[in-house]
Structures are given as C-alpha cells and as structure tokens.
Structure 1
Amino acid sequence: MVNFRLLRNSSSNLHLSLFSLQLHFVVIWLLCVALFVDAGKNYGKSHLPFRKSHLPFRKSHLPLQKSQLPIHEKSQLPVHEKIPLPINEKNQLPIHEKNPLPINEKSRLSLNKSPLSISLNLSPSNSNSNSNQNFSSSNFSPLTLYLNGGPGCSSMIGAFQEMGPCTSLPNGTNTTINPNSWNTVSNLLFIDQPNGAGFSYGGNYVTSSQQAASNLYEFLKEWISCFPQYASLPFHIFGESYAGRYIPILASMILCNTTDVSVLNVQTPLLSLNVGSQSPMMNLKTIGIGDGWMDPMRQYASLIDYSQQNSLLTSDVIANMSAAYPTCKSLLSTCYNTSTNQDCSNADDYCYNNVFTPFVSNLNCNIDDIKATWDSSPDEDYLNYLARPEVMSAIGVKTPYTECSNDAYMAFTETADLQVARSTMPQIAQILNAGIPTLLYFGDSDANCNWIGGLNISKSLNWKYQTNFNSATLRKFIVNNQPVGQVQSSNGLTFLKMNQAGHEVPYYQPQNSLQMFTRWINNKQM
C-alpha cells in the first residue's frame, strides 16, 4: 500500500502539520510494493545477523521482527488533477485507508504492473485561505526527493530528525516547527523504501540497489501521472548513507528513460548516457549525496586513514588493518570487473572481517559521530510519536512503523548485492557527463562513511572535467561570516566537508545544512 500526505503551514489537533511559513508543501510517501508476504524465507548469512553498524548502515542496533501483514485484493488509483483539493467540514482531506494493490495469495505482482493506492490528508490552517488551498507558490518551487539509507531504513528519519518541517518533542508527546527545514526553499518528497522500511510493507523483499531504484523509478512515474503539474518543476534528488547507491542508479534511469540494466551497467567506466528520443519524465537538475556509501575500495581504505588522522585506534590495530587491505582491494577489484555475485560476496566478507571489524570493534567512540560515546545516537522521540494510534489513524496507516528493517537489510545480503562490494562511481561520472551537477557532502565527525573516502572518490571520478576538479582549491565554506567547513568545486562537481557534523549532517548542523542546500538548488557559490 502507498500512503502520502501533503503537509503545509497548518496546524491540527495532532500537530502533525506544523511547518515553516513558506508556501511549500512536504509530501511524505510511504512506499511499498504490496506483494504476498513470504514469511517463511530465511534471509542472510551466519555471520551477518543484521550487522552492527555496517559501513553504510544506520540504526543497526535496533532489534527488529518480521511482521505478518494483511493481504488486500482490490485497488484503484485516484487521480487528483487540480488544486484546490476537496476539503471536508473539519478542514481536512479525507483519509482513504483502503484501495491497496491488487494482491491475493496466488499472485505476486511487480510495481510496474500494479496501480497504486493513495491516502491523502491535508489540514489547511484556514479553510477560507486561497493561498493555503491553492498552493500557488508550491507550483513554482523546486521539488526535492529525499531518501535515507540502510538498506532498509525509513526516510522518516530525514523527515523528523533532519530537514523535515517539524520535529518531535520529548517522548513523542507532540511536534514543533523545524526552523531549518529544507521545505522553506523546496517542496519535499520523502519515500519509505525498499518495502519493509518505515510504514511500507510487502512480501518479496528487494534484493539489490538496481531493483530498489527501479521500483522508485516506476513509483515516480505513477506519482507524476497523478500530479503532472510537478513534472516540469526543477527536480533534485538528495539522500544519505546507502542512498549513495540508490541515487546514482535512479538518476541514470530518469535521464535515460529506462530501467534497462544493459544501458545502466554500474561497472561500465564512463558509459555515455543513452538518452532516448523522449524527454525524461522529470526535470532532473541536480543530485546530492550526504555521507554516502559509493565505493568500498576507497572507503574501506579511508577507515585506516581516518583512524590515523583522529587517533582512534592503537598502532597495532591500524597495522593489522593495513596488512589486510591489499587483499581486500584485490578482491574488490575482481568484484568490480565481474557480474558474479560470489566474487563480490567473497570481497565483502573478507573486507568486512579483516578491515571493518577490527576498526569498529576497537573504537571507543560512536562510529557515526566520533565526538560522542559509542552508545549514543540522535534523539528518537519521533518513534513514540509515530506509534500513537491517533497519529497512525491521521496518516492512514495500519502497520507499525519500522525505523530500519532487518528483513529488508538481510535481503540485500542474500544476493551479495548488499552491493556493498560494488561501486556507483561510474554512474556518478555518467551523471556528471550528462551535465547534472552533483554534490557530495560529509560530516567531519562521521567515521563510518567518512570525508576522507568522500574526497578520494570525488578526485577519482573518471569524467570529462576530472582534471579541472582536481586542480580546484579546497577552500572555506562560510556561513554568517564564519568558516563552517571546506568545499572544493568545479564544472558541476562539488565536495563539501561540514565541521562538527556526524553521519546525519542536517541533524548536527541544521542551519549550516540549510544554507548549503539553499545555495545548491539556487545555483549559488558555496
């Protein structure tokens, strides 16, 4: 079932619709491919019981259970062609809790063969306000899709902890406006994917980044058919962590108008985008990846360099990691040049056991924020808020919220796709060569997907302006006349390191992150 919510500057009894005073909307889509639940399959390897803080993973400390979910048999896609939308006597759009995908116990339909069911709720602060009902500013503002990582983590993390319009009060008792929300400058679209993340549900779990991006692509096609007025808006794709895998693949699919794997081969160096005769379905302008997992060969190596630079480990541990890395690199090189999952599984296992495990098991700090203790994490009061029955009812969901799905994660490991062992650098190069500006930003306190690996990736991208970028100066990033980071930029590629920020950069530096995002989507110098 797919649910979404148009959120505006408004208030309700639940305070679920608190936003900035800008006339931008936030759409929270809870994406799932409603397939038959294959509850009997046992995903995963013996040494991978939902890995503790695996490199691209976040929230992996949560104990997660597989859910038995209901099967629904009918579906209809309501099309909302005009704005304003119908408001009831309570100044709300009705919540349609039914109409899921057409599934029965004998059928397992793919997303691109199934219509989508939509639930909508809108609470204008004043039913007589044309500005609230007509969304005039929203129709001309950029649209930004935001994805969290995992694989298997909900984008509600971004919506409630990072750049969404509101955050949760202590213990989830209520919400309050986020003054640094990115919806002050852009419409925002948050999607829970792959199925199993957040409020989404389904049966056959997604097993690869390619499949996840393909499902996102098909979903966006349906979304644009439902809201064609947003097809021509400047469209930006942002995300963090494992979204460093989703975003390059999805952006290539949008530019090429296809999900054809032969056109979108991740491993083909500097493959020219085969843009078809049809215009892309969305007006893709830029992509942005925060603390992304993109290239294991460089990012495993960066664990050694980052540990040395920040005195995180003893010399003996660093020596052992350094001794193991050449074999790790060799195995990854084999993986990069083959389509055989077993080669990538071998590389992933070796690098994880001999480079990553010594690193994480000997840390005396938090891998996502070295300034913090190992057992600390961003506030998660929003979990209690989303568990409240009245909130679940208001947003039209019936399944409990799962911040990060163990089953969704393990499905990626089953195919060795946990494509942890493959690189998306070739596709980032494709996107740059197609003229799509790309922002790679990192928190300086994130050891997990750290900035050293990010800068190495940025300098190693095999694209037409690689020399220009590498010749550019790493300069100060200034906000309010104060240096808050470093930035290197040329010909559409920008690398940015944010000071005093962990894995979720907007959580740690909300004001500076908003400045970064605002300048980026407005094509201003960082």
Structure 2
Amino acid sequence: MWFWFFESRNEPRTAPLVSWFGGGPGNSAQYGMFTQNGPCEILDNNTEPSLREFSLNNHANVLYIDQPIGTGFSHGDGGKANINFARDNSNRPLINYLKKCDGTGTAEDCSAAYLSYWTELDQPILASALDIYADFIMADIQPGGVRPATNHEEYLQRADVQKAVGARVNYTDSGGAVAIRGSGDDAKSFLGEISHIVRDGVQVLIWAGDSDYVCNWLGTKRVADAVDWPKKEIFSQTDLQPYTVNGVQKATFKSVKNLHYVRVFNAGHNVGSYQPETSLQLIAQSLSGKGLSST
C-alpha cells in the first residue's frame, strides 16, 4: 500500500489529519496531489515540482493514499478488485496509524464509495468532515487547455524519482481502474452509507463543478437532497445561496447542520485545479466543523 504523508505547514502537532483518495475508481491519489491540492505542482513545460500556494497542508497534515492495490505505486500479487476488497484489505495497513490521528476522509467522485463503506469498519477514523465530490469535464477533443497538466505522470515515471521515493513499480495514473471497472461497483449506490454518516453527525461536504459533463452538479445536488436524515426535508427545501471568496462570488451553496452542498463556478472535474483558492477555503471551513460561510 503506497501513501505520501505531508506535515502541515502550520502547527502540525495540533492540525487535523486529512486522508485523500483518488477517484475513477482506481485512479491514483497522486493525480490529485499534483494537479489539485498537494504541497507541490508541476507547471506547464516544467520538469520539476514547484511549491503550491493553495495546498491542503496549509491547514492539515495530509495522507495521499493509492488504493486499491494496483493503483499508482501500490502493488500486490493480484487477486480481487472491488469495493469490498478495497475496504477490507487495501486500507487495513493504515488503520492503526489513522486511529492515532484526528482524521478527515476526502475522496474524488467514485472513490467516495470506498470511504462510505470504510466508515462502517472503523468509526474512530471518522472525525470532522467528509468531502465527497463529483465534477467532470470532457476534454478529449480539446487537448492542451481544458484539463489540468499531467506533467506529474512523466515525473513519477522517472527512474531517479522512483529510486528516491522507494517505489517498486512503474507509475500510472489509473492502473487500478482496469480491474475495478469490470466489477460492477460503479453502478452501485452508496446513498445509504452517506445517509448513515450524516446521521452520525460527521461533517459532510458534497461539491461539484458547474462545468461537469458526466457527474454534473444537478445530479450531485439531487444526491445531497436525497440523503436520509432528520433534516432531510429542511435541507432539500433550502435554496442555494451565493458563496464568496474574499468578496467575489465563486459558488452557490446550502448548509444545514453537518451537511453541505456547493456548486463551484467555472470548475470541471478537478475543482482544486480550476478553483484552487475556493476549494481550499471550502475544505478549511469543513475541517473547522463550524460550517460554510462566505468571506
């Protein structure tokens, strides 16, 4: 099981722990680490990392976890590839570590299913927030300007980099997707698990970019409205309100107790890539446990 740990830039001894899982399912967490919210990024036409201003570890200690086995630098001897296997085996080596920390689970699109099932195994891991979002923009016919740069893939495939970090296999962004896409897991609903988490009082943030093509903001809003919890009627009937960052409207949102939904403007699949300051403010507010509010 491969993971990166980055200490918080501010008060690491008291900062919360955020666990970041890639989407897909079967995509590496390192994609999000380099293109969205990690401490470093590889800018266009560069071959070496640069410091990222709007990084998650401005506010938290962060674990980027490649799961299931076969994803990113995680490797094994083969075998099963589905949500239950990922829940029971892929994450198990990290559980004792996470139990010692104030942890927050964050996940991209389909990988949110892993988190929701995982919560039934290890309630101590759940702490302050769960960030489940789905936001996708099609760009296959528009290369070089829509999707975030993927220079990181070439960087992580370099022999000197792999030797330096101790990687034992070559890197691919979505190496774990091949097996898991044939499992049927992507068609299964995990609304029940999300509802269970919300009823338990965990802070849950669901966001989507408004330029999403497949996992669009209307669909994710309907998911949020369908969450079965005591405040379901109030939440579903609450209108979206303007959300600002430093006085500039960047999104619309609604928030009732511990459930929050956000439609982020001018954002595609990777909200952190398109709107880094907005996404960081949203996550930071979720970590605080005080709800979302404009700045």
Flag whether TM exceeds 0.5 (same fold).
yes
What is the root-mean-square deviation of aligned Cα atoms in Å?
A: 2.0
CA offsets 1:110-166 (integer angstroms, 9 cap, x no match): xxxxxxxxxxxxxxxxxxxxxxxxxxx212100000011122211000111110000
* Structure-2 separation of matches of 1:436 and 1:510: 24
Do the aligned partners of 2:128 and 2:289 also contact (CA within 8 Å) in 1?
Answer: no
Letter in 2 for 1:166: C
> Would you say how many aligned residue pairs link Structure 1 and Structure 2?
289
* Structure-2 separation of matches of 1:513 and 1:378: 15
1:494–1:375 distance in 2 versus 1, CA, 3 Å:
same
1:412 match:
180
TM-score (normalizing by structure 2)? 0.91
2:78 match:
204
1:250–1:3 distance in 2 versus 1, CA, 3 Å:
closer
Q: Would you tell me which structure has more strand in proportion to its own residues? A: 2
Q: Do structure 1's residue 475 and structure 2's residue 241 form an aligned pair?
A: yes
CA offsets 1:11-34 (integer angstroms, 9 cap, x no match): xxxxxxxxx8x24xxxxxxxxxxx
Do the aligned partners of 1:469 and 1:490 also contact (CA within 8 Å) in 2?
Answer: yes
1:369 match:
137
1:167–1:463 distance in 2 versus 1, CA, 3 Å:
same
Secondary structure of residue in 1 paired with 2:93? helix
2:162 match:
392
Gaps of 5+ in 1: 9-19, 24-136, 225-229, 256-279, 293-367
Q: Do structure 1's residue 243 and structure 2's residue 111 form an aligned pair?
A: yes
Do the aligned partners of 2:268 and 2:274 also contact (CA within 8 Å) in 1?
Answer: yes
1:488–1:187 distance in 2 versus 1, CA, 3 Å:
same
2:32 match:
158
Q: What is the CA distance between 1:222 and its match in structure 2? A: 4.0
2:120 match:
252
* Structure-1 separation of matches of 2:19 and 2:5: 14
* Structure-2 separation of matches of 1:389 and 1:410: 24
Q: Do structure 1's residue 188 and structure 2's residue 62 form an aligned pair?
A: yes
1:249–1:174 distance in 2 versus 1, CA, 3 Å:
same
1:414–1:290 distance in 2 versus 1, CA, 3 Å:
closer
Max radius of gyration: which structure? 1
Q: What is the CA distance between 1:449 and its match in structure 2? A: 0.7
Correspondences of 1:28-67 after superposition (within 5 Å): none
CA offsets 1:309-344 (integer angstroms, 9 cap, x no match): xxxxxxxxxxxxxxxxxxxxxxxxxxxxxxxxxxxx
* Structure-1 separation of matches of 2:41 and 2:242: 30
Do the aligned partners of 2:5 and 2:62 also contact (CA within 8 Å) in 1?
Answer: no
TM-score (normalizing by structure 1)? 0.52
* Structure-1 separation of matches of 2:109 and 2:3: 24
Gaps of 5+ in 2: none
Q: What is the CA distance between 1:513 and its match in structure 2? A: 0.8
Letter in 2 for 1:443: G
Q: Identity percentage over the alignment?
A: 28
Q: 2:215 aligns with which of 446, 449, 453?
A: 449
2:22 match:
148
Q: Do structure 1's residue 458 and structure 2's residue 224 form an aligned pair?
A: yes
Q: What is the CA distance between 1:171 and its match in structure 2? A: 4.7
Letter in 1 for 2:244: I
Q: 1:285 aligns with which of 128, 131, 151?
A: 128
Correspondences of 1:110-189 after superposition (within 5 Å): 137-171=11-45, 173-189=47-63
CA offsets 1:17-55 (integer angstroms, 9 cap, x no match): xxx8x24xxxxxxxxxxxxxxxxxxxxxxxxxxxxxxxx
* Structure-1 separation of matches of 2:74 and 2:158: 17
Do the aligned partners of 1:217 and 1:254 also contact (CA within 8 Å) in 2?
Answer: no
* Structure-2 separation of matches of 1:208 and 1:186: 30
* Structure-1 separation of matches of 2:153 and 2:161: 11
Do the aligned partners of 1:194 and 1:206 also contact (CA within 8 Å) in 2?
Answer: no
